[in-house]
Amino acid sequence: VSAGSVTGLVAADTVCQARAQAAGLSGTFKAWMSDSQDDAYCRMHGLKGKKAANCGQATLPASAGPWVRTDGEPFAEVISKLTGSATVLTPARFDENGVETTVSWFYTGTDETGESISARVCSDWTSTGAASVAGTTVQIFNLWSEAISTDCQNPYPILCMQTGSGRPLTYQTTGKK
């Protein structure tokens, strides 16, 4: 991944932030990606490091989320549900403009716990001559982040997510008894 003079996760985050701003979205956006130094789990908290090392904190942060797709549907409630059961509420099918994607895969280098699969991160996202893991835009269960192994030369997009924590999701109740 490259954007101007930067590469790797910095480039991916630069792309995410620019696309979010162009779409009129506010906040900080990062790619749901890991490399050999930083896990996606930590990155969603706006931190660096490994989940196994508490993202550099005294205790493992657990407040990131919730996430809502750009079409208004809930994606995931909190980081523990995003990574613990590795289940999202709805597939990641929409881009930053609310347009449904026709692509079935996105690069992650991240397993279902939000941690890096170090051997599968395209040489820290600097090489097309390596291998990676991709998530899927069509599944909600345990493989949404780690669906396939792939070559880094494939033209897959990245999944951008807002960092930090927000208000809990609200659910509408039906009138059925």
Map tokens 């051997």 to a residue.
119
Distance set, CA 168 to CA 21, 59, 63, 76, 132 (Å): 23, 22, 11, 10, 33
CA atoms within 13 A on the CB side of 154: 19
Instruction: Tell me the pLDDT tens digit for each residue of 55-77.
Output: 999 999 999 999 999 999 999 99
* pTM for this model (two decimals): 0.91
Backbone phi, then psi, for 136, in 5-degree steps? Answer: -120, 145
How much is the pLDDT for 169? Answer: 80
How far is residue 115's CA from residue 135's CA, in Å, rounded to a whole number? Answer: 13
CA atoms within 13 A on the CB side of 25: 24
Q: Which residues contact 163 (CB under 8 A, 6 or more apart)?
A: 27, 28, 29, 30, 43, 44, 45, 46, 64
Q: Is the pLDDT of residue 121 over 90?
A: no
Instruction: Tell me the pLDDT tens digit for each residue of 124-160.
Output: 998 888 889 999 999 887 789 999 999 999 989 999 9
Residue 15, H or E segment: helix 8-22
Instruction: For the chain, give the mean pLDDT.
Output: 89
Strand partners, 158: 107
